[in-house]
Amino acid sequence: MTQRASTAPCALPGTPLANARSGIDACVHCGFCLQACPTYLTLDDENDSPRGRILLMKAALEGTIPLESETLTTHIDRCLGCRACETACPAGVPYGHLLEATRATMLAGRPLPFVARMVLAVFARKPLLALLMFGGRITRATGLASLLGRLPGRLGFAMAMLASTRRPAAGGRRASADRQTATSEQVVLLTGCVMEGLLTETNRATERVLARNGFVVDGDAAGQGCCGALHAHAGDRATAQRLARCNIEAFERANPDFICVNAAGCGSMMKEYPALFDDDAEWRTRATAVAARVRDVSELLVHAGPAPAGPLTIRATYDAPCHLIHAQRIASPPLVVLRSIQGLDLVPLDGTEHCCGAAGIYNLVEPEVSADVLAPKLRAIADTGAAVVATGNPGCMMQIGAGLLRAGSATRVRHPVELLDEAYAKGADVSFPA
Ligand code: SF4
Ligand code: SF4
């Protein structure tokens, strides 16, 4: 489709939103995206749909409504950034890019809510983040997170999220390349912030299953850190750029064949690093080279096989993280990974492609809408009768995990590679902590 340049006036020249104008103009207002949008389905307001939000962006750009308008800020804030609308859109509207550009433009005249500022400040500083994660592990180990997770409100939900990251000890098994048909391709893991801080054992399981499938996983990318996704999604482009530069430099030094990411949101961010550097040719080139090596762990495992595992006799279902299925368009590889586990009774999950309501820090800043979006997901999971929900993103794991804990469900959440790792290690039934 050929887009004609808009001739409408621009009230915000030089802003990220003005630079994203061609994306706004690409919308033909067909409404195909509406039924894919969780906030539209939950709130039943056109302004909380992709089409409505794009019209609000256009109105702000043309000066019809001010940037501080409550109508604009309320409905842009309520967007999950799940990008289900991109998958549904026949016109190729780059909605995720438009949302980040709008939030970046709004940020110049309006500070983020206090909770969001605190979380983003901590995630941008390694010592503070390490302290937070250490405190989280202590709170979890003492059982306090499980106890406080029963409280109503934001604190209770946050504690249940933390409690849901508890894992059985794996006995410190290390990665080792014990498969005959080694690929000999070197892989370095993006260890991440929440993944390494709270889901450490999932990272180790990722390394083990990669090694089991012939990858060389003995290196690290010294200096790597938070990918910057939370900051980019909130419109804090400067911090997202700073964090991206650190990771680009770290992975350039490590120089692996592939950068493995086991967190869908982080993988999506790293694959889109070049878009952060529109106005910087040198960094854009470097970002493009690094982004080209980024793979979700499921892509790598499918590339190598994966080697069959099991038997693991358990009923499981799969929930597709938005930033895997919509942002990265990776749908079948996680299912291939799960189907490689003999004995696994993999049952479909109704609405697997719908957002769970986690969306980065959305569940902290918009707790009511987040809970309303989560509710049908929990009902669908209960209908499957599955003992385990597999999903490949820490935000989704903690959101669904917290919802299940607070509902008194015995179903637990695991990353697909954790199940594969268990199947390789035990070849038998696996038990999960209550
Ligand atoms: S589907 Fe695409 S073109 Fe149609 S209204 Fe939604 S964003 Fe616009
Ligand atoms: S990103 Fe998700 S919540 Fe936001 S408009 Fe698109 S479908 Fe709706």
Low-confidence ranges of the chain (pLDDT < 70): 1-7, 169-183, 427-434
Rounded CA separation 397/418 (Å): 12
Beta bridge partners of 188: 259
How far apart are the CA of 5 and the centre of ligand 1, in A? 18
Q: In terms of Cα–Cα distance, which of 313, 324, 338 is closest to 390?
A: 338
Q: Is 38's C-beta closer than 6 angstroms to any atom of ligand 2?
A: yes
Counting from 1 in the atom list of ligand 1, the atom nearest the Cα of 26 is: 3
Query: Which residue owns the Cα nearest ligand 2 atom 8?
Result: 37
- Residue 406 is predicted with a pLDDT of 96
How far apart are the CA of 359 and the centre of ligand 1, in A? 21
Q: In terms of Cα–Cα distance, which of 129, 38, 18, 144 is closest to 83?
A: 38
- Residue 109 is predicted with a pLDDT of 82
pTM more than 0.75: yes
DSSP line for 318-353: E---HHHHTSS---SHHHHHHHTBTT-EEE--TTTT
Query: Which residue owns the Cα nearest ligand 2 atom 7?
Result: 37
Alpha-carbon dihedral sign for residues 312, 298, 327, 107: positive
- Residue 361 is predicted with a pLDDT of 86
Other residues' Cβ atoms within 10 Å of the Cβ of residue 368: 8
Q: Is 324's C-beta closer than 6 angstroms to any atom of ligand 1?
A: no
Counting from 1 in the atom list of ligand 1, the atom nearest the Cα of 49 is: 6
Q: Is 58's C-beta closer than 6 angstroms to any atom of ligand 1?
A: no
Q: Is 129's C-beta closer than 6 angstroms to any atom of ligand 2?
A: no
Rounded CA separation 220/391 (Å): 25
- Residue 184 is predicted with a pLDDT of 82
Considering only CA atoms, give the Rg of the chain: 21
- Residue 167 is predicted with a pLDDT of 84
Cα 7 to Cα 10, 62, 73, 92, 204: the distances in Å are: 9, 10, 25, 21, 54
- Residue 274 is predicted with a pLDDT of 97
